[in-house]
Amino acid sequence: MSFQEVTGIYPKAKKVPSRFRHALGKHRITITGACNNCGLCITLCPYGVYKAGARRPKVIAEHLCLGFSCCENAFYCVSRCPVQAISLQLNPSFECLGDKRWTADLLASAWHMAETGQVPYQGLNYKIGDAGGGFDKIRFIFPKKGSKEIPDMEISTAIELNRSGDSRPKVSIPLPFYLGGMSFGSVSIVTMLARVRAAQALGTFCCTGEGGYPEELIPYDDHVITQVATGLFGVREETIKRVRIVEFKYAQGAKPGLGGHLLGDKVTPAVAAMREAISGSALFSPFPFHSVYSVEDHKKHVDWIKEINHKALVAVKVSTPTDVDMVAVGSFYAGAHIVQLDGSYGGTGAAPDIAKKNIAMPIEYAIPKVHTFLQAEGIRDKITIIASGGIRTAYDMAKIIAMGADGVCLGTADLVALECIRCHHCESGRGCARGIATTDPALTKLMEIEWATQRIINMYLAWQHQLTDILKHLGMRSVTELVGRFDLLAHLDYIKPEEVEGELN
Amino acid sequence: MPPKYHIKTAQAPNRFQAITRSGVIAWEEGCLKCPRCVKKDCVYQVYEKRGLEARQMLDSLDTACKDCFRCVQGCPNKLIQKGLNPQYKALGDHYWTPEIISVLWSQAESGRIPVSGAGYGGPFSGPGFDAMWTDMSEIVRPTRDGIHGREYISTTVDLGRKVMALEFDAGGKITTTVPPLVEIPLPIIFDILPWSPPRRQITLAFLEAARALGTFAVVRQSEMNAAIEEHLSNVVLWVDGAVNDLTDELLKTLSLIEIPDGDHVMEMQRLLKEKNPKAIVFIRMELNPTASERVIWLTQEGAEVFHLVANEYGLEKGEDPLFIKERMREIHGSLVEKGLRDEVTLIASGGIAMAEHMAKIILCGADALGVDIPLLVAMECRVCRRCKEGVACPVELEGVDPAWGAGRIKNLMAAWHNQLLEVLGAMGIREARRLRGEMGRAMFFEDLEKEVFAPMGKRV
């Protein structure tokens, strides 16, 4: 099934530039006073870096500049400038951006995809980060030359979420991902709506997180996953009845075993009303479910949801402890359709650093363990495994599928598309200074819904192109053929390029 | 149930401004004097509150900035940039990294555990303690109340030798002599510093903090003075000179005495215990490839507590040294195998730099641990090691006010204590004692890599 067949629509990428005056890029261009405003650079540059100005051209989009590798081109403005007024440098601020997992290159790549819907051409590494292990050390082994090329339209990136064979509806999504839970309170209503609307446009789902079901989401019911988490904030019968997928959140990868904590500052009257709490006072989401102390209790939970909504699929979100394989088996026997494994390097609005770094295992270990174990149990085909917690790129997504997941759940990547800069200060004061993870009325206004929706759509369309490309290279017609293909992956620490037949990428 | 252990914290401001990762570079030249300058829009008001710290010539802009880049992106003439701070990069070394040092500073200042938004941004794994993860339990564990509210998670551990069974005579009277045991409410003692400026004030800060926390600081015999004698109830006396130089009176007041391992170590232990039967003797031993045989032998000879010491990088002695967690796993494991583990106490020191290292070294078999350099860092040490060369300390540690220093150390320990609770809570463990050697609740890099990544590309 192609993307179009599943969605019946084909969302298109539209140019959506940065909402800030200057987008951040790798390079910095300066035009000196020697400029005679001849306008040659404006005519030459195919990327639209310059715009006409009164005294000299204006540099309006440094981030679109090809950089030093442009020197080979006939249109290289620096050498073509008749008065040598243009100089190109690395942007000094760029090296302050990002971290080992989300490098400045990955951030800028995501921004580029969100702006244009295309993969970046500026020499940015958009495939891996600099974490020195896991995804960043794993490469696909692509056959040296593809046999016969499969046309894009014949390659399906769709997956089925209900594989149980029960009487509940089949739910297909055209891309192997949905968007993870971020509660109203931890992010603004604009962020929340943009994510849900993007999910609708892409034919997939977006989870509400644990903070209630704002009325603004009702038009998008068919693309909402509502979450039942330990605090039961905002959970009502009518919200459970409204949706096609209900998710139980047992644990979160960033703070496994620790529950949630919404700081008092973020509990505005609107948030409080939704959560049936008092504004200004901090809200704890306890750990664990006080009604669940065994797999049998867990089954009771799942049955309860199934009873309330006869059509909904049940997803179970868990973290990655050492016995993660047993947890997955338990979820299956309790009747879950989807088990989402949230790895330890996943996102959060606020969590103790000690938990984020140390508690539970990275998703790259958990998925292969669970996949292999469920295969041995003979139940792998009856349940959908969704991987989350540190999926940053289309390549990460493809790799984790090859490691045994059916699809992925995304969160941080969406926020980066909205120009999150990963300053790690979502939790302080009025919240996100860039207006994404905040409930502050003034900061919320920094972002418009249309703009934000399209940025997310753009980025994931670029992901879909990349995934299709990977499948094409591997000679596959469907992403479901990729599941569990460890033989197509190599970890650079354990395999030498000469041992591999094919090209590592 | 005993009252809940709680460490009181109070903001203890820096004497020197902290060195931050990056700084703001703002040019005035070319400024358009916008009526609505981006500086006014700063969410954190860093430009409004701007000030210059005259002694160090540090701009408050750099310490208060939270890297949101709004001003960098908003200034019409692009006059504002961010730049990495070379001074920050130069802090410490490969082990005592700038990140570790700055996080220790902020915990010592505030007493709060480091919390941040967004996912972990560091490397996938690393050497030493970064090559392991701790477990969590999906459904069975104390509730969140255990960490912040009503329920009780104990971090108390015992120091001393334990008898495995009591014996009785025909009349039903206990014939076993039960050796002395000291309980500390936090599995931490303060250890001897590998280097420092003159220590007089520093030691007093350690002891004052140890008293407030209910734990102990190791103090050299050669350093004893009248001020320290005020704090004897929190001293582990390190016998770095002749035993005969110690007065009986002093020995009788001490509950913990530490002696170096050596040929006559058991004799020395007996001698000290004759003088003070209530004292517990620690045997200090530098970790090395034969440590585990030595520990077993001494345990069979009646040793009570081993203080096993690695260097400041967590490495043992010898060529191709093992990291402390590896050697501790081996020692713990061989004691378990011999059926001796519960009789003795193991304290591990060296290279413990973060709260997570505390949880991890306990998981690897230590009952308790010694902390050294982080206590200095709590008092703003920059791990420049100039003091080793006799050069003046840039943060004037030799003159530190013991009360302020103790406050900073208490804050740091409070933050570490709370982080230990987080780790214990996530695992569903209610006692630090039970964490010891629980390697089934740890995940090791080598094991996972071997199981998961090594076979890749090779399977059919």
Contact at CB, B356 and A489, closer than 8 angstroms: no
Q: Is B29 on the interface with A (CB under 8 A)?
A: no
Predicted pLDDT of residue A447: 97
B119: nearest CB among A259, A348, A427: A348
* B66, B84, B102 - which closes a domain: B84
What's the maximum distance between 2 C-alpha atoms anywhere in chain B? 98
Residue B456 lies in a domain: no
B115: nearest CB among A28, A297, A352: A352
Q: Is B22 on the interface with A (CB under 8 A)?
A: yes
Predicted pLDDT of residue A355: 96
Residue B55 lies in a domain: yes
Question: Total domain count for chain B?
Answer: 2
* β-bridge mates for residue A339, sequence order: A316, A385
Query: CA of A7, closest CA in chain B: separation in Å?
Result: 32
B317 and B182, same structural domain? yes
Return residues 32-51 of B near A (CB < 8 Å).
43-44
Query: CA of B350, closest CA in chain A: separation in Å?
Result: 20
Query: CA of B369, closest CA in chain A: separation in Å?
Result: 18
Instruction: Kindly give the parts of chain A with pLDDT less than 50.
Output: 1
The CATH code of the domain that includes B410 is 3.20.20.70
Structure confidence by residue, pLDDT tens digits, B190-248 = 999 999 999 999 999 999 999 999 999 999 999 999 999 999 999 999 999 999 999 99
Distance of CA A201 to the CA centre of its chain: 16
Residue B123 lies in a domain: no
pLDDT in tens, chain B (460 residues): 567 888 999 999 999 988 999 999 887 788 888 888 888 889 888 888 888 777 776 777 888 899 999 999 999 988 999 999 999 999 999 999 999 999 999 999 999 999 999 999 999 999 999 999 999 988 765 555 555 555 688 999 999 999 999 999 999 999 999 999 999 999 999 999 999 999 999 999 999 999 999 999 999 999 999 999 999 999 999 999 999 999 999 999 999 999 999 999 999 999 999 999 999 999 999 999 999 999 999 999 999 999 999 999 999 999 999 999 999 999 999 999 999 999 999 999 999 999 999 999 999 999 999 999 999 999 999 999 999 999 999 999 999 999 999 999 999 999 999 999 999 989 888 899 999 999 999 999 999 999 999 999 875 5
Residue B150 lies in a domain: yes
Give start and end residues of each alpha helix (H) in B245-302.
248-253, 265-275, 291-301
Contact at CB, A18 and B73, closer than 8 angstroms: yes
Contact at CB, A99 and B113, closer than 8 angstroms: no
- Cβ neighbours of residue A111 closer than 8 Å, sequence gap 6 or more: A18, A23, A24, A63, A416, A417, A419
B182 and B74, same structural domain? no
Query: CA of A96, closest CA in chain B: separation in Å?
Result: 6
> Is B273 in a helix, a strand, or coil?
helix
CA distance A404 to B455: 14
* A249 contacts A229 by C-beta, under 8 angstroms: yes
* B52, B67, B84 - which closes a domain: B84
Measured distance between the N- and C-terminal CA atoms of chain A, rounded to whole angstroms: 27
Predicted pLDDT of residue A146: 59
The closest of B192, B190, B194, B254 to B217, measured between CA atoms, is B190
B153 and B61, same structural domain? no
> Is B28 in a helix, a strand, or coil?
coil
Options 3.20.20.70, 3.40.50.150, 3.40.50.2300, 3.60.10.10; CATH for A152-491 is 3.20.20.70
Measured distance between the N- and C-terminal CA atoms of chain B, rounded to whole angstroms: 58
Return residues 398-437 of B near A (CB < 8 Å).
419, 422-423, 425-428
A258: nearest CB among B123, B425, B449: B425
Residues of chain A with Cβ-Cβ distance to B423 below 8 Å are 354-355, 358-359
Residue of chain A with shortest Cα separation from B78: A22
Sign of dihedral through CA atoms B227, B229, B235, B236?
positive
Residue B366 lies in a domain: yes
A427: nearest CB among B67, B117, B123: B117
Return residues 90-109 of B near A (CB < 8 Å).
103
Query: CA of B180, closest CA in chain A: separation in Å?
Result: 35
The single-letter code of the amino acid at A331 is: S
Query: CA of B223, closest CA in chain A: separation in Å?
Result: 36
Compute CA distances A498 → A402, A417, A492, B17, whole Å.
22, 38, 11, 53
B434 and B325, same structural domain? yes
B426: nearest CB among A258, A428, A493: A258
CA distance A360 to A344: 6
Residue B73 lies in a domain: yes
Residue B95 lies in a domain: no
* Percent of chain B clearing pLDDT 70 (strictly above): 96
Contact at CB, A421 and B448, closer than 8 angstroms: no
B264: domain range?
145-449
Predicted pLDDT of residue B459: 52
What is the residue-averaged pLDDT of chain B? 93
Contact at CB, B81 and A21, closer than 8 angstroms: no
CA distance A29 to A19: 20
Contact at CB, B121 and A422, closer than 8 angstroms: yes
Which architecture characterizes domain A27-90 according to CATH?
A: 2-Layer Sandwich (3.30)
Predicted pLDDT of residue A268: 83
- Cβ neighbours of residue B320 closer than 8 Å, sequence gap 6 or more: none
B382 and B245, same structural domain? yes
Query: CA of B185, closest CA in chain A: separation in Å?
Result: 21
The CATH code of the domain that includes B76 is 3.30.70
Predicted pLDDT of residue B143: 53
* Cα dihedral B280/B283/B287/B292 (nearest 10): -80
CA distance A234 to A249: 14
**Which tokens belong to B100?**
């570790």
Residues B379-408: b if buried by 16+ CB within 10 A, e if exposed: bbbbbbbebeeeeebebebeebebeebbbb
Contact at CB, A251 and B22, closer than 8 angstroms: no
B422: nearest CB among A321, A352, A500: A352
Residues A322-356: b if buried by 16+ CB within 10 A, e if exposed: bebbebbbbbbebbbbbbbbbbbbbbbbbbbbbbb
Residues B29-68: b if buried by 16+ CB within 10 A, e if exposed: eeeeeeeebbbeebbbebbeeeeeeeeeebbebbbbbebb
CA distance A137 to A128: 8
The domain segmentation of chain A, as residue ranges, is: 27-90, 152-491
* B43, B67, B84 - which closes a domain: B84
CA distance B458 to A392: 26
- Cβ neighbours of residue B381 closer than 8 Å, sequence gap 6 or more: B373, B393, B395, B397
> Is A261 in a helix, a strand, or coil?
strand
